[in-house]
A and B are shown apart, each in its own frame.
Chain A
């Protein structure tokens, strides 16, 4: 790519790689999707990003921003010829203010590293996607990420106060939007427009994020229910008990058994899993623990484990944290030596419709003869059913794609959405259209395309994604 060679003069040779073998590393994501870029550039500041974008604008080069490429919807891959901007060298935590409850970071800071730093102050950044150890702030902002604690803390939308962005125009304009305060009425809310836009509107280079104190004490309860209906009754009672749990997680029995096999979880799996974590003050620990334990047993849980010490709680989380490893483990066991594609759904339904959703997903999976793992952040109605199959198995692939579309349809029919926290990318563009169609809101797509044109008139920023 000749333009990439010229970019070395603009940026410095050490910030541009054109070796196709290295570039290839930035052209694949965990879903199994892959593509091809011409070069990878590694900005070390907002100024660098501005120079890259200005150059790309003048030469009509498409630009694809990347954090750690843990997207599962194709949103971080080059959809056509162009350059990848990797933010991995912009990984500085710029400042922490406990009084303001804010942290300023560059886009390439990993969420896991951010939490290690914040723990020194007794604080945390509460958005914790399954990929929290490796995911970056910029990736989480672009993806509008959520996580295990979504029912309590929401998604990135709720935790970004301000952004520094670079616009895809002739001069690569650097812009600050939003405030350093929770209350902020700065005209139209450009911050929340950019959060979740999957890098299609502007390039996020820095962010001012809200932070929150780590809970004083947490009770964790892990229970197994032979019957789904009993599990749902326990879940419903927790939701109706005037507490707002930190975490409510679900795995169906088959998935929990796989997770147990794939991990060293010190628990016996005897049914579908419900994991609840409730924070309280230290004095209330015993009362909350007894309440959760009694509630689970009253709803016919066969086994109930509780913990109040962090190291004991962590053991109860082992099974849930093994959801993705279990999917990989299972895939490798079933298809030894094969490269796998994992389709991980990301639907959300109103929590009152969860039981119906799980049952319908199981029916659809059975209809297609697919072995499907079902788990999710049920506290906010978010489910991640998944299926793994060999990349070269076309029959399995067509079954999985049909399954994927039917599961999305179930979500929409139950009043939910096709994408809760993973984004639209390339994989769910059709599903997004179907969802808006169902709502009678096709016009929303036109509005979105109009917004894209205003921000990015030449269409050089992460083209082919979202709309």
Chain B
């Protein structure tokens, strides 16, 4: 999770990524957008939940958010690593 956390830590919560995210509105809450996902990644090592997993697995990894992010955070890359972390927790 080192890469995912270091990417997520760079987020200043401006939300500029949200209008371009295709999953935010259908998802029904902020966790289904990039701003929410990177914040959830920061908490993932401590705890998780069904809603958190849903939020991370509904990301399309399209990278639209990174294009408009002022800090150019690699959300898709961070989400990939977070999914791997969740899988490893399941199998352990």
Question: Do A and B interact?
Answer: yes
| Cβ contacts A323-364/B at 8 Å (1 or 0 each) | 011001101100001111010000000000000000000000
A112 touching B47 in the complex, CB below 8 Å, given contacts A26-B30, A88-B30: no
User: Which parts of A1-39 form the interface with B (CB within 8 Å)?
Assistant: 14, 17, 19, 21-22, 24-26, 28-30, 32
Is the Cβ of B16 less than 8 Å from the Cβ of A21? no
| B29 surroundings in chain A (CB, below 8 A) | 17, 22, 25, 40, 42, 86, 88
Is the Cβ of B30 less than 8 Å from the Cβ of A21? no
Is the Cβ of B13 less than 8 Å from the Cβ of A69? yes
B15 CB-CB contact with A under 8 Å: yes
Instruction: Compute how far the CA of A328 lies from the CA of B69 in the bound complex, rounded to whole angstroms.
Output: 10
Is the Cβ of A21 less than 8 Å from the Cβ of B40? yes
B48 CB-CB contact with A under 8 Å: yes
| A331 surroundings in chain B (CB, below 8 A) | 12
Instruction: Compute how far the CA of A14 lies from the CA of B29 in the bound complex, rounded to whole angstroms.
Output: 10
Instruction: Compute how far the CA of A28 lies from the CA of B40 in the bound complex, rounded to whole angstroms.
Output: 12
Instruction: Compute how far the CA of A322 lies from the CA of B71 in the bound complex, rounded to whole angstroms.
Output: 11
Is the Cβ of B13 less than 8 Å from the Cβ of A112? no
Interface size on B, residues (CB 8 A): 29
Instruction: Compute how far the CA of A279 lies from the CA of B87 in the bound complex, rounded to whole angstroms.
Output: 57
| A133 surroundings in chain B (CB, below 8 A) | 16, 19, 68
- Identify A340's interface contact among B12, B30, B55, CB under 8 A: B12
Is the Cβ of A324 less than 8 Å from the Cβ of B70? yes
- For A14, the closest partner residue in chain B by CB is B28
Is the Cβ of B39 less than 8 Å from the Cβ of A25? yes
B49 CB-CB contact with A under 8 Å: yes
Is the Cβ of A22 less than 8 Å from the Cβ of B15? no
A371 CB-CB contact with B under 8 Å: no
A131 touching B16 in the complex, CB below 8 Å, given contacts A21-B51, A22-B31, A329-B71: yes
Instruction: Compute how far the CA of A332 lies from the CA of B72 in the bound complex, rounded to whole angstroms.
Output: 11
A406 CB-CB contact with B under 8 Å: no
A28 touching B14 in the complex, CB below 8 Å, given contacts A110-B19, A113-B19, A134-B19: no
Interface size on A, residues (CB 8 A): 40
A22 touching B51 in the complex, CB below 8 Å, given contacts A40-B29, A134-B19, A332-B71: yes
| B13 surroundings in chain A (CB, below 8 A) | 28-30, 69
Is the Cβ of B9 less than 8 Å from the Cβ of A339? yes
- Tell me, rounded to whole Å, the shortest Cβ–Cβ distance linking B14 to chain A: 5
- For A111, the closest partner residue in chain B by CB is B19
| A342 surroundings in chain B (CB, below 8 A) | 12
A70 CB-CB contact with B under 8 Å: yes
| B51 surroundings in chain A (CB, below 8 A) | 17, 19, 21-22
Instruction: Compute how far the CA of A380 lies from the CA of B27 in the bound complex, rounded to whole angstroms.
Output: 40
A91 CB-CB contact with B under 8 Å: yes
Is the Cβ of A70 less than 8 Å from the Cβ of B39? no
A47 CB-CB contact with B under 8 Å: no
| B49 surroundings in chain A (CB, below 8 A) | 19, 21-22
- Tell me, rounded to whole Å, the shortest Cβ–Cβ distance linking B21 to chain A: 11
A89 CB-CB contact with B under 8 Å: yes
A134 touching B18 in the complex, CB below 8 Å, given contacts A21-B49, A21-B52, A88-B30: yes
- Tell me, rounded to whole Å, the shortest Cβ–Cβ distance linking B73 to chain A: 10
- Identify B14's interface contact among A113, A134, A322, CB under 8 A: A134
A365 CB-CB contact with B under 8 Å: no
**5 more A-B contacts (CB under 8 A) besides A69-B13, A133-B68?**
A21-B48, A26-B30, A40-B29, A134-B18, A328-B70
Q: Can you list 12 A-B pairs with a CB-CB distance of less than 8 A?
A: A14-B28, A21-B52, A22-B52, A24-B43, A25-B30, A25-B31, A29-B13, A30-B12, A40-B29, A70-B15, A340-B12, A342-B12
B residues with a Cβ closer than 8 A to A are 6, 9-10, 12-16, 18-19, 25, 28-31, 35-36, 39-40, 43, 47-49, 51-52, 55, 68, 70-71
